[in-house]
Amino acid sequence: MTASDHQLAQRERRARLLAAAPDWHASDARVDPRVAIGSIVAMWLLYFLITTGLAMLAGTPEQWAFTGRRGIVVAAGIFCTFILYQLLQRVQPRSFGARLAAAMGTAIPLVILYATVNLLVFFYWFPSDDTQRIIAEMGTRFPVSWELMLILDSSIRWYFFFAVWAALYVALGYANEMRAVERRANAYRLEAQNAQLRALHYQVNPHFLFNTLNSLSTLVMRGSKVDAEAMIMNLSAFLRSTLAIDPEQFVSLEEEIALQRLYLDIEQARFPDRLQVDVDIPHDLENACVPVLILQPIIENAIKYGVAPSKGRIGIRLSASHEYGLLVLRVENDIDPAAPMPQPGTGLGLSNVRERLLTRYGPAAGCEWGRADGGGFFVSLWLPLTRNGC
C-alpha cells in the first residue's frame, strides 16, 4: 500500500467513525431529581398562591377555611405528580413522540385519583354551603352517579394541568438526551481527531533513517570511527526522544528547536562541509507552545532537496516571529543552481504539516511554501500564539 492509499484509508475510517450514530441510553433522558421535584413543588405552590390571591381579591367568604382545604388538595396534587414523575422515570421509549404519548397516558389515572381526593375534601370531609348547593343540583341531574360526573368533570379540567408538567418533564429529558448525544459525538470526534494526529505523527519520512544508516556504513568502511560513533550517539538520542513522544503533546518552541538540532547533528555528520544552520528565535518566543515535531518534515525536506543534491555550502535558516496574536515560523534553504534537480516528492511531508495544523487549530493555523526571493525555497507556518501551557 502506498502512502497516499494509506492516508485515504485512514480518512475513510475517520469519516465512518464521525458518521456513526452515538449509542442511545434511556438514562440520558432522565431529569435530575432536584429539578423534577423542584418543578413539581413550584408548580403547585404557584397554583396555591394564584387561587388564594384571586379568591381574596374576589372577597370570597370563609377564606381561611378554604385555604386549609386548598392546602390539603395541593399536597395531594404534589403527591400525584410525584407518582407521575416516578412512573415517567421508568418509562423511557426511544422516540420523543412515544415518550410524550406515554407521559400523556400515564397522567390519566393520576388525574382521576387527584379529582377523587378533591371531591372527598370539598364535598365529603369539609363541605360548605356552596358545595351543598352543587350536590343538590348534581343529584337532580344525575341522581345515581353525580359523584362520578363530578370526578369526570374535575379530571377533564385538571388533566391539562398535569399534562403541562408531564410535557415539561419530557422536554427537559429530551434536552438532557441531546446534550448527552452531543457529548458522545464530541468524544467520538475528539477520538477521531486524536487518531488522525497520531497517524500524521507516524507518517514521518523514513528517508533520513535510511540515509543515516547508509552514511554510517560509509563512515565505518572508511575507518572514520570517531565520526561513526558520534553519528550513532546522535541517532540514538534523536530516536529515543522522538519515539517516546506523545503525538498529541505540545512542547515549547525552545524544546522543538532542541529536537531539530538532534536531527541536524546527524545530518551534519553526513554533510560536514555542505550544511550550515542559522537559528533566529527571539527570547520572548522560546516558551511559545507548538505541536511536537511540527518542524521535522520541513527540515527533512530542506536537507533532501537543498543540501543532499548540492556540491557547495547550503544554508538552512529557521526564524520565528509573532504578529496579530499568531506565532509565525519560517524555514528557508538555499538551492544550488548547479546541482541536478532531485526527483519530485509526493508532497506528503508538507501536507502532513498543514493537516496537523488544521486538525489541531482549524482555520486559525496554516502552512504555505514556495520559491524565496533569494532563489531558495521557503516554508512558512502560523498558529495561535500561546505560552506556558505546554
pLDDT of 74 > 80? The answer is: yes
Region 356-378: what's the mean pLDDT?
Answer: 88
Q: Quick check: 58 pLDDT over 60?
A: yes
Rounded to whole angstroms, the Cα distance separating 197 from 366 reads 15
Q: What is the pLDDT of residue 387?
A: 86
Read off the pLDDT of each residue in 30-57 and give the average, rounded to a whole number.
88
Q: What is the pLDDT of residue 149?
A: 83
Q: Provide the pLDDT for residue 56.
A: 79
Return the pLDDT at 37: 92
Q: How far apart are the first and last CA of the chain?
A: 36
Q: Tell me: the pLDDT tens digits for 157-183?
A: 899 889 999 999 888 888 888 888 777
Among 84-88, 120-124, 224-228, 305-309, which range has the highest average pLDDT? 84-88
pLDDT higher than threshold 50 for residue 293: yes
Q: Are 173 and 36 in contact (CB under 8 A)?
A: no
Q: Is the pLDDT of residue 315 over 80?
A: yes
Helix (H, G, I), strand (E, B) or coil at 335: coil
pLDDT band at residue 240 using 50, 70 and 90 as cut-offs: confident
Other CB atoms within 10 Å distance of the CB of residue 160: 10
* pLDDT higher than threshold 60 for residue 197: no
Which is nearest to 315 in space by CA: 273, 373, 360? 273
- Choose between 95 and 361: higher pLDDT: 361
Residue 263 pLDDT level (bands cut at 50, 70, 90) = confident
| Structure-block grid coordinates of residue 216 | 554510517
Residue 27 clears pLDDT 50, i.e. is over it: yes
CA distance 63 to 46: 18
Query: In this structure, what are the phi and psi dihedrals at residue 255, rounded to the nearest 5 degrees?
Result: -70, -40
What nine digits make up the cell of 373? 526571493
- Output the pLDDT for position 21: 45
Q: Give the position of cell 375534601.
A: 121
Q: Which residue is it, cell 362520578? A: 148
Q: Mean pLDDT throughout 131-140?
A: 70
- Reported as a pLDDT band with limits 50, 70 and 90, residue 17 is very low
* Band of pLDDT at residue 254, cut at 50, 70 and 90: very high
Among 60, 158, 66, residue whose Cα is nearest residue 121: 66
Residues 6+ apart with CB under 8 A from 27: 92
Q: What share of the chain is helix, strand, coil (3-state, %, to 5)?
A: 65, 10, 20
Segment 57-78 shows an average pLDDT of 81
**Of the ranges 92-96, 201-205, 252-256, the best mean pLDDT one:** 252-256
Q: What is the pLDDT of residue 19?
A: 46
Range in 10-19, 63-72, 280-289, 302-311 the model is least confident about = 10-19
Of 108, 112, 114, the residue nearest 166 (C-alpha):
108
Domains of the chain: 21-198 (no CATH), 207-384 (3.30.565.10)
Q: Using the predicted structure, report yes or no on whether residue 4 has a pLDDT greater than 80.
A: no
What does the pLDDT average to over 45-71? 80
pTM over 0.75: no
Positive/negative CA dihedral, 378, 383, 388, 390: negative
Q: Which residues contact 238 (CB under 8 A, 6 or more apart)?
A: 259, 262, 263, 265, 266
Grid cell listed for 332: 528557508
pLDDT more than 70, % of the chain: 78
Average pLDDT along the chain: 80
| Cα distance between residue 184 and residue 24, in whole Å | 10
- pLDDT tens-digit profile of 328-356? 999 999 888 777 766 665 556 788 788 88
The answer to which of 22-36, 148-162, 198-212, 324-338 has the lowest mean pLDDT is: 198-212
Q: Residue 18 has what pLDDT?
A: 44
